[in-house]
Chains A and B, each alone.
Chain A
Amino acid sequence: MKKKILPIAMSALMVTGTIGLAGCSGGSADNGGETSAQTEAQSGSLKSSGEVTAYVGTDIFDNSMDPVKGFMCYAYPFVGNALLKMGTDYQYKGDLADSWEISADALTYTFKLKEGIKFSDGSDFTAEDVVFTYQQVKDNQANNENVDLTSLKSVQAKDDYTVEFTLNEAYSPFFDTVAMLQIVPSDAYDSTTFDTKPIGTGAYKVAEYSTNQQIILEANENCFSGKPSIEKVTLVYMDSDAAIAAANSGQIDVVMVSPNYADEKIAGMSVEKFTTMDVRHISLPVIPESTEKDAQGKDRKVGNNVTCDAAVREALSIGINRQNIINNSLNGIGKPAESFVNLSWSLDEKYEDGLVDNAKKILEDAGWTDSDGDGIVEKDGLKCEFDLIAPGNDTDRYNICVALAQEAKNFGIKINVSNLSWDEAGALTNTTPIIWGWGQYNPVLLDQLLGSEKFLTGDYNDVVGYKNPEVDKAIQDALRASSNEEAVKNWKAVQEKAEGDYPYLYIVNIEHSFFVNDNLDISPSTQIMHPHGHGAPVLCNLSDWSWK
C-alpha cells in the first residue's frame, strides 16, 4: 500500500513545498506565472510617456465608484470634482465652484459655479447637476454614510451657474461636506452603471472596470483643468506581497507598502513617505458590561469590566512607550500620537509617555494590585486582562497590537491580541477593544466618536459608550457655530474635555509609504495631507503626475 503515502506526501508538498520553492527564488515574481504579464513587464520599463500602473490597496475595488454612494469622498477624487477641494495649504478652495457666500445666520450657502465645464461624456456642467446630485444623496442617504446631508433643507438652482443651499439649522461641517461630494451629470446618472463606470468632470474617466482585477483610467480630454500628462492609469488589485513581487519585476510603477517593507531594495524604485492625518487608536469601552437595546431595538451586549475603570485607561495612555511600539511594529516609521493630529481642528496633544512607574501607581491607587505574583494586577478577584481585536487582513495593525501588549505587560496589564474578520469584529465593537484607523478633514468624526447620542446607532459610532454632558454640549456648540473659528474652538474644546477620560488610546500617526518608479514624478509638492484611506490618497494629485 505504498501508493497511500503518495497522495499525503503530495498534499503536504502542496502546502509547504510550493512555498519553499517560491521562497528560494526570493524576489522574483513567480506568483501566477503569467507569461503575458511578464512580457508586458519587460516592455513596461520602456513604457513611453503616458502610462502608469499602480497598486494603492484594494479599497477602491471594495466599494462602489458612485459619488452618490460616497466614493472617494475624503478629498482625493480623480473621476469627479466637488464644488470645493482641499488645498495643500489646508484651506478649501473652489473646484467646480468659483466663489461662495454664507449668510450671517449660517443657514444659506450660495455657490457661484465655474462656467464652460464639461463632463467626460461631453455634456455641460450646470447648476441643475449640482441640485440633482445633492437631491440624490439626500433621497438615498442610507446608501451614503460618509456624506451626511441630514442638515440640508433644500437645494435650488438660482440660475444656470448659481446654487443655493438652505439648512434646517446651522451646521458648521457643511462646508467640509460640500468638499466631499463630487457632482454627477443629471442626464446620464444611473445608480447601477455608476458603480463601475462613473461619469464626472475630473481629470480621468473609467475606461475599463474588471471586478477585483483592475480599473483602467483614461485621461479626460474635456477636463476643464487641462488634459493630464499621464494618459492611462491602471489600478491593480492584488495581495500586498504579490504587489511587491510585481514591482520587483518592473510591472508596477507605484506600490503602496507596509512600513515593514520600506527598507527593501527594489531596482529602479525609491520609497516616498507622506505625512498623514491617519491615526491608529484603540477603543476602550468606558462602561461596565451590561445589555442595552440598539437603534433597531435589538439587545446588544455592551461594556467591558476592565477597561471601564478610568485608572486602567489612564495607566495605558501614559505607561506605554509609543516610540517603542512604532520601532517594534512599524519599522520606526510614523510618529507617536496622543490625539488626532495635523488638522486645523485637531488637538495635536503631546504628553510624556513610557512612565511605567506612574502607571503602576495609578493602578495601585485604584485598587489594582498583583496579589498572586503572576505579574498581572487584580482587583476584587478580577484580573486586569482584556482582549484586543486587530481586525481584517492588516498585518501592521496586528503588529501594533502585539507591540502594545508587550508594553502593557510592564505595568501589569495583560492584553490578548486576536485577529478576526471585520464581520466578526463588528459584533464585538461595544464590548471589546479594537484598533481603528481614522483621519479625515471633516471634524464631524469627533461627534461620531464621542457624541453620546451616537451610541449604538452604527458600527463605528461611539463604540466605547462614552457619555459626557459637557462634551455633548461642546459638540452641539461646534456643530451650530456660525463661523469656522468658532467651530474649531469648540471642536478643540470637545477633545480637551474628553481627554482626561481616555476613551480612546491613541498610539501612532502613521505615514503612508510607497515605492515609486524613479522616473515617475508623483509631485509630492501638490499632494495634500493624506487622510485615512489605505493607500488611495496618493491619487489625490493624479493629474499632476508625469514621467521625468
Chain B
Amino acid sequence: MHKYHKKSRLLNRRVVLLITMIIAAVYLVGVFIWGCCLSEDAYGINFNEKFLAPSPEHWFGTDNLGRDMFFRSIKGLSISMIIGLISVGISSVIAIVMGILSAVFGGWVDKVVNFAIDLCMGLPHLVLLILISFMMGKGVMGITIAAAVTHWPSMTRMIRQEVLQVRNSQYVLAAYKMGRSRWQVAVKHIIPHILPVYFIGATLLFPHCIMHESAVTFLGFGLPKELPAIGVILSEAMTHIVTGKWWLAVFPGLMLLIAVIFFDLIGEGLKNLLNPQTGNE
C-alpha cells in the first residue's frame, strides 16, 4: 500500500485492480458476444484448407476438416460461458436458498442441509459430474444440469456462515425486539448483507463451472462432437498431436486458461473491493 502511495497517487492497488478487472471483463464479454454473434460459416468446414498452420489468415490454424480454429475457439468459449452462466445461476440460487434456510431455521433443517453438503462433497467432483451428465443423457442439457447441481455446496456453507453471523448481531436482535417479522428482517437486513458474498461466490464459481464443463466434455461425457466446445476441440486435438499439429491444442487451451484466470481475477478483485478492510484503500 505504502509503496504505491510513494510512487503515484493515481496508481494505487485499487486502481490497478480496477484496470485489470476492466481488461478481464472486456476480454470475457467480448469473447462472449463475439461468439454468440458468430455466423456458422466462420468456423464451418472447408476441405480446401485442411491442417493449415497458424498464419495471418488463420490465427490459430485449421483442423482436419479445415475449420478455422480461432473462430471455433471463440465460439466454443462462448458456449462454455453460456453453460457457465446458466449453471452458476442455478447453483447460486440453490446455495442461497439452502444457506438461508439452514441458518434461519437451524435444527433438523440445518442438519439435512449439512448432510446434503457432505454427501455432495464426499464424492470426487469430476466423478459426480460425469455420473450426472451421463444420467441426464449428456449433451448441453446433461452437462448444464450436472454443473448446476454440483457447484452449490461450498457457497451454501459460506452463505450459511454469513447469515448465522448476521442473525446473532446486535442490530438484528434489536430489530426483532422492535417487532419486525422474520420476513422483514430477512429482506431488510440479512439479504443486503449477504449480497456481496453472493456475487463474489458466484463469480468465483464461474471458472470452476467452465473448467469442469471442458473437462467432462474432453472425457467424452459432455457436449457432443458437433458443437465447437473447447473440450471437444482439445480431445480431437489429442489424435493429431502425434503428427505435430500442435496448434490444435495449444491455442484453444490457452484461450480457456486465460478465460479461467480472468474470471478468477474478477472474483478476487470484487472480493477485495467489497471487503470493508481492503475496500477503503
- Chain A interface residues toward B at CB < 8 A: 1-2, 4-5, 8-9, 11-13, 15-17, 19-20, 22-24, 26-27, 239-242, 244-245, 248, 260-261, 264, 327-328, 395, 398-399, 402-403, 406, 416-419
Given contacts A15-B215, A261-B243, 16 further A-B contacts (CB under 8 A): A1-B268, A5-B264, A9-B264, A12-B256, A13-B257, A19-B238, A22-B241, A23-B245, A23-B246, A26-B244, A27-B242, A241-B242, A398-B225, A399-B64, A402-B45, A419-B225
Contacts of A403 in B (CB 8 A): 47
Chain A residue with Cβ nearest B215? A15
Q: Does B268 lie within 8 Å of A16, measured CB to CB?
A: no
Contacts of A27 in B (CB 8 A): 242-244
Contacts of B245 in A (CB 8 A): 23
Q: Does A418 lie within 8 Å of B45, measured CB to CB?
A: no
Q: Does B241 lie within 8 Å of A19, measured CB to CB?
A: yes
Using A9-B261, A260-B64, A399-B65 as known contacts, say yes or no to A16 and B239 having CB atoms under 8 A apart.
no
> Is there a chain A Cβ closer than 8 Å to B271's Cβ?
yes
Contacts of A245 in B (CB 8 A): 242
Q: Does B241 lie within 8 Å of A5, measured CB to CB?
A: no
A-contact bits for B227-267, CB 8 A (1 contact / 0 none) = 00001001001111111111111101110110011001100
Using A12-B257, A264-B243, A406-B47 as known contacts, say yes or no to A1 and B224 having CB atoms under 8 A apart.
no
CB distance from A259 to the nearest CB of B (A): 12
Q: Which of B11-19, B98-106, B190-198, B203-211 contacts A (4 or more CB under 8 A)?
A: B203-211
Contacts of A402 in B (CB 8 A): 45, 65
Q: Does A20 lie within 8 Å of B253, measured CB to CB?
A: yes
Determine the distance from Cα of A4 to Cα of B65 in the docked complex, in whole angstroms: 38
Q: Does B211 lie within 8 Å of A406, measured CB to CB?
A: no
Contacts of A248 in B (CB 8 A): 242
Using A8-B207, A9-B257 as known contacts, say yes or no to A16 and B249 having CB atoms under 8 A apart.
yes
Determine the distance from Cα of A170 to Cα of B110 in the docked complex, in whole angstroms: 77
Determine the distance from Cα of A395 to Cα of B249 in the docked complex, in whole angstroms: 17
Determine the distance from Cα of A548 to Cα of B129 in the docked complex, in whole angstroms: 53
9 A-B contacts, Cβ less than 8 Å apart?
Answer: A13-B257, A15-B211, A15-B214, A16-B249, A16-B256, A20-B253, A241-B239, A416-B226, A418-B224
Determine the distance from Cα of A419 to Cα of B226 in the docked complex, in whole angstroms: 8
Pick the contact of A418 from B226, B231, B241, B265 — CB < 8 Å?
Answer: B226
Q: Is the interface of B mostly helix, strand, loop or mixed?
A: helix
CB distance from B92 to the nearest CB of A (A): 17
Determine the distance from Cα of A245 to Cα of B173 in the docked complex, in whole angstroms: 69
CB distance from B251 to the nearest CB of A (A): 9
Q: Is the interface of A mostly helix, strand, loop or mixed?
A: helix
Chain A residue with Cβ nearest B257? A12
A-B contact count (CB 8 A): 112
Determine the distance from Cα of A425 to Cα of B254 in the docked complex, in whole angstroms: 34
Q: Does B260 lie within 8 Å of A8, measured CB to CB?
A: yes
Contacts of A239 in B (CB 8 A): 239
> Is there a chain A Cβ closer than 8 Å to B152's Cβ?
no
> Is there a chain A Cβ closer than 8 Å to B43's Cβ?
no
Q: Does A24 lie within 8 Å of B246, measured CB to CB?
A: yes
Best-surrounded residue of A5, A11, A23, A328 (most CB of chain B within 10 A): A23
Pick the contact of A17 from B226, B237, B253, B265 — CB < 8 Å?
Answer: B253
Q: Does A20 lie within 8 Å of B208, measured CB to CB?
A: no
Using A19-B238, A19-B253, A395-B239 as known contacts, say yes or no to A8 and B47 having CB atoms under 8 A apart.
no
Pick the contact of A19 from B226, B249, B268 — CB < 8 Å?
Answer: B249
Q: Does B271 lie within 8 Å of A1, measured CB to CB?
A: yes
Contacts of A16 in B (CB 8 A): 234, 249-250, 252-254, 256-257
Pick the contact of B237 from A8, A19, A242, A395 — CB < 8 Å?
Answer: A19
The 7 closest A-B pairs by CB, nearest first: A16-B253, A23-B246, A328-B47, A19-B249, A419-B225, A26-B244, A20-B250
Determine the distance from Cα of A13 to Cα of B252 in the docked complex, in whole angstroms: 12
> Is there a chain A Cβ closer than 8 Å to B218's Cβ?
yes
Pick the contact of B234 from A2, A19, A261 — CB < 8 Å?
Answer: A19
Contacts of A417 in B (CB 8 A): 226
Q: Does B242 lie within 8 Å of A20, measured CB to CB?
A: no
Pick the contact of A15 from B64, B242, B256 — CB < 8 Å?
Answer: B256
Determine the distance from Cα of A406 to Cα of B66 in the docked complex, in whole angstroms: 13
Contacts of A419 in B (CB 8 A): 224-226
Determine the distance from Cα of A419 to Cα of B211 in the docked complex, in whole angstroms: 23
Contacts of A395 in B (CB 8 A): 64, 239
CB distance from B254 to the nearest CB of A (A): 7
Q: Does B242 lie within 8 Å of A244, measured CB to CB?
A: yes
Chain B residue with Cβ nearest A23? B246
CB distance from B200 to the nearest CB of A (A): 10
Contacts of A406 in B (CB 8 A): 45, 47
Q: Does B250 lie within 8 Å of A23, measured CB to CB?
A: yes
Determine the distance from Cα of A402 to Cα of B66 in the docked complex, in whole angstroms: 12
Using A8-B207, A328-B47, A395-B239 as known contacts, say yes or no to A26 and B225 having CB atoms under 8 A apart.
no
